[in-house]
Structure 1
Amino acid sequence: MAKHEKRYKDDINKVDKWKKALHQLANLSGYHYKHGDGYERKFIEKIVQDISRKVSRVPLPVADYPVGLESRVPEVISLLEMDSSDRVHMVGIHGIGGIGKTTLALAVYNLIADHFEAVCFLEDVREHSEEPGGLVNLQKDFLCKILGKEGVHIIGVRDGISQIQRRLSQMKILLVLDDVDEEEQLKAIAGNLIGLVVAAESLLRQRTNDC
């Protein structure tokens, strides 16, 4: 890199991009197989499933005319501190209706989704939580999307919180919650997961000063 810096001293941004790419590559997590963990066939199947899930991922539609996202998206991404994997990161996007909070969250989601083992965008959390069994249904949707399967059985909100923490605590997940207005909603879906990165859209209006 020192040689490249001299060679491309008139275009140092190119070298900076190379350094950043190498840094990101070094931080990529791989697959480690141990003979005591089961059959090698199952291990390979898991790799195929994980890769297939990422390859088949389709970006969510953002907006026909996205205006003003160029500066805001990098700012939100920097707050997530994605290079750190030792704790939960939570970002709240707060403001009056119609200013583009969901659009911004969607743009961030699409841009960084491939950096995570699994991703989930839950829309209209406030509206769905007011329906009968709303929080439990949101918990089921979350688990189904992350685990890639249907038929998740949850008997109540507390059981849902327990299942989410037990089944997802070892995964690096990007979760976007659209239109959250109660702390109960956030706790029911996000809980206290280890390694969970949460971009909570419209997070708790009564706690704006803490965001």
Structure 2
Amino acid sequence: MDKHEKRYKDDMNNKVDTWKKALKEVANLSGYHFKDGHGYEHQFIKKIVQDISRKIGRLPLPVADFPVGLESPMSEVISLLKMDSTDRVHMVGIHGIGGIGKTTLALALYNLIADNFKGVCFLENVRENSQKYGLVHLQNNLLCKILRKEGVQIIGVKEGISQIQRRLNQTKVLLVLDDVDEH
């Protein structure tokens, strides 16, 4: 740093101060801790790589250009989800007349909390797509998105239910179904 301070001493924006500040921020981040005797190091590293790849590989979904008034409903839904709980399943339904911002709220929530889940899926236009292509199509999309694999092939609805249960067992998943009109 001394070397850089001398080199950039005349810099108006003072690059070195910016670098120092960034290094302090990085040094204060907490992360993963490996303890000897608690598994193999290569498994620990593999878990870190998978976790980070999952987070940086996920793109946020586009929300409305000018979302106004989302903070209060978002905090209400988050409290209903009880994300810190170890219970098996939490389900929250957002309903109301068309045009009041249900999808916008769901998109904003999805973007905000998606990194807390191992698998995520936002299925939009469920009513239309289930009528047009059937439930098997939706089940295939769901598994492809959550497992991040192409070519998942489900033949029937009952097989789809079984595969979803088997493949996602013990996996923390965020599933958003948009525009659902029946069970």
Question: TM-score, structure 2 length as denominator?
Answer: 0.74
Number of positions where the alignment pairs a residue of Structure 1 with one of Structure 2: 150
**Distance in 1 of aligned mates of 2:113 and 2:170:** 19
Asked if 1:61 corresponds to 2:62, the answer is: yes
Query: What amino acid maps onto 2:158 in structure 1?
Result: R
Q: Which residue of 2 aligns with 1:83?
A: 84
**Distance in 2 of aligned mates of 1:93 and 1:66:** 17
1:22-58: CA deviation from partner (whole Å, max 9, x where unpaired):
xxx9xx9x9xx757xxxx8677545423320212211
- Counting only pairs closer than 5 Å after superposition, residues 99-178 of structure 1 correspond to structure 2 as 99-132=100-133, 134-178=134-178
Question: Which structure has the greater CA radius of gyration?
Answer: 2
1:169-193: CA deviation from partner (whole Å, max 9, x where unpaired):
110011100011111xxxxxxxxxx
Structure 2 regions of 5+ residues with no counterpart?
Answer: 1-29
1:90-133: CA deviation from partner (whole Å, max 9, x where unpaired):
0000101011000011111111111111111000000000014x
**Distance in 1 of aligned mates of 2:137 and 2:43:** 30
Higher-RCO chain (CA-CA 8 Å, sequence separation at least 6): 1
Question: TM-score, structure 1 length as denominator?
Answer: 0.65
Aligned to 1:174, the other structure's residue is in SS state: strand
**Distance in 2 of aligned mates of 1:42 and 1:146:** 22
CA RMSD of aligned residues (A): 2.4
Stretches of 4+ aligned residues off by more than 4 angstroms: 40-47
**Distance in 1 of aligned mates of 2:146 and 2:95:** 26
**Distance in 2 of aligned mates of 1:135 and 1:113:** 24
**Distance in 2 of aligned mates of 1:164 and 1:51:** 24
- Give the deviation of 1:142 after TM superposition: 0.6
**Distance in 1 of aligned mates of 2:124 and 2:101:** 14
Distance of aligned partners of 1:173 and 1:55 in 2 relative to their CA distance in 1, 3 Å threshold: same
Q: Using the aligned pairs only, state the percent identity.
A: 74
1:72-106: CA deviation from partner (whole Å, max 9, x where unpaired):
11011100000102221000001010110000111
Query: What amino acid maps onto 1:91 in structure 2?
Result: V
**Quick check: which one's strand share is greater?**
1
Q: Which residue of 2 aligns with 1:11?
A: none
Query: What amino acid maps onto 1:79 in structure 2?
Result: L
